[in-house]
Structure 1
Amino acid sequence: QVGEFRQLLLSELSRSDWDSVELSKTMGQFVDAAGKEAPPRRARLNRLIGYTAQFYEQLMRSLSGGAVHGDAELVRAVRAAQSTWPGDAETAAACLERCLEAEGQVLANANQATLVQCWLDELATTTRTGCPVAA
């Protein structure tokens, strides 16, 4: 179940025009499916944020001339993204940093729906424009 969602997530992130609203709805439903209690939902969300952070970390490495490390799905997604990425390694680093901020926000018990919407919107905006969203 988580593996299938990871495939979907990597596929979306590798596109230059992914829809943050649709992905936030899908992700919210997937996180909610972890159960009624908050700890399993937070754990699932953190896992998804971690997958996203891995993607941007490897994209940053690739844009800096380094080798991409990871399984075949991650490598494929990073290579697809690199071909249409409007920014540079610093832009990918800004997306990675935003993922780390989101992990902290999960730990601080931020509202899940608001966090996911804001986080994904900022990543999608950065992906489309090549410019990090100002904090």
Structure 2
Amino acid sequence: MQWDDYIGHAQQKEWFATALRNGRLGSTFLFVGPAAIGKQTFATLLAKTLLCVNNPPDQMQPCGHCESCIQVDAKTHPDLLRVEKPADKSVIPVEKLVGPRESRMQEGLCHDIRLRSYYGRRKIAILDDADHLNQEGANCLLKTLEEPPVGSIVILIGTSLQRQLPTIRSRAQAIRFAELEPAEAKQLLQRSEIEADEAAIEQALQLAGGDLSQAAEILNEESQQFRTALAETLQPHPINAIELASLVSDYVNAAGQDATDRRGRMRQVFRTVIEFYRTQMLQTCQTQQASDPAMERILYRMDRCVEAINQVDRNANQQTLVESWSWDLQRGKPLI
């Protein structure tokens, strides 16, 4: 991957190019923006730019064929440290930052970044999943962020400033990444050799809230089969709440044990149901009065889905949320 191959976020690239030309590159950055829009790839390209042994960083054009560039691409560069949340954990383990309890500060990111660089240039650390730093983990990082080794750079990657602890926000320079433009997102998905027409890609991006990994998942066969079954379950009146809850729970559970993936599927489900009822609403407007009971049910159910998305963002219990949402959709009106 080279900058010429990278799609989107041109303003952020130019900001770093200017900082490098002026010799004013900071030491700690916090990349924030929606999931799966290229923040991690941007961080890797920036590291490749800074570690390339042939081309100067201010050119923003790593050669791509020196030993350093090849190692960055292979994720084996000794001066590029990477930390991310394990799939089976809900937070980033402290051990990844400062080593195990019996050998604190003899291993982990905070130790390794202070070692002399292998190529004599600089050490760079990329900490993905910064949303999942707990208070203990953030405290372990404080000294490294406050007194970084000369020439070192730490890049933390998260989804929003609000999800970062104050101790992290106050010590890092925030770089905001917005959702990709529709044309850019389509180009990326098409590059992934996904077999879908433009209309299907647009709908998938809408349902995924701009998350490219979620959009790609929506376009796969499993998701398409689920959406067909979901539409069939939503069609009758009244809805069978038990059947609906079972269908949705099975689909969400199929995402695995990672809480982020499961929450992503839940948002996907609720957005799909909103689109289902939006279509019904348009059809009802053409044939019935806006005050018809059917229209009131549709509007209530759409509002309930919006509320459910907000509950996902507040980390509501999955089983309780799916079951209460299903019964509310079956009822089709608020409790008096």
With the shorter chain as reference, the TM-score category is 0.7 to 0.9
Match of 2:268 among 26, 47, 68: 47
Note the 1:59-70 alignment, pairs <5 A: 59-65=280-286
**Deviant stretches of 4+, over 6 Å:** none
2:229 is equivalent to residue 8 of structure 1? yes
The residue that corresponds to 1:121 in the other structure is: 327
The residue that corresponds to 1:76 in the other structure is: none
Match of 1:110 among 316, 320, 324: 316
**How far apart, CA to CA, are the structure 2 residues paired with 1:26 and 1:95?**
18
Task: Verify the 8 A CA contact 1:10 1:55 in the aligned structure 2.
Answer: yes
Q: What whole-Å deviation, never above 9, does each CA across 1:20-74 have from its counterpart, x for those lacking one?
A: 11221221121011011100000011101111011111212221128xxxxxxxx
The residue that corresponds to 1:71 in the other structure is: none
Secondary structure of the structure 2 residue equivalent to 1:16 = coil
Question: What is the RMSD of the two structures over their aligned residues, measured on CA atoms?
Answer: 1.9
Structure with greater Cα Rg: 2
**Amino acid aligned to 2:321:** L
The residue that corresponds to 1:26 in the other structure is: 247
Task: Verify the 8 A CA contact 1:19 1:124 in the aligned structure 2.
Answer: yes
What's the TM-score once normalised by structure 2's chain length?
A: 0.32
**How far apart, CA to CA, are the structure 2 residues paired with 1:125 and 1:134?**
9
Greater per-residue strand proportion: 2
The residue that corresponds to 1:87 in the other structure is: 293
Q: Which has the higher contact order (CA 8 A, sep 6+)?
A: 1
**Amino acid aligned to 1:65:** Q
Q: How many residues align?
A: 112
The residue that corresponds to 1:96 in the other structure is: 302
**Stretch deviating more after TM superposition (55-64 or 39-48):** 55-64
Change in CA separation of 1:3 and 1:134 when aligned onto 2, cut-off 3 Å: same
What's the TM-score once normalised by structure 1's chain length?
A: 0.76
Q: Which runs of 5+ in 2 are unaligned?
A: 1-221
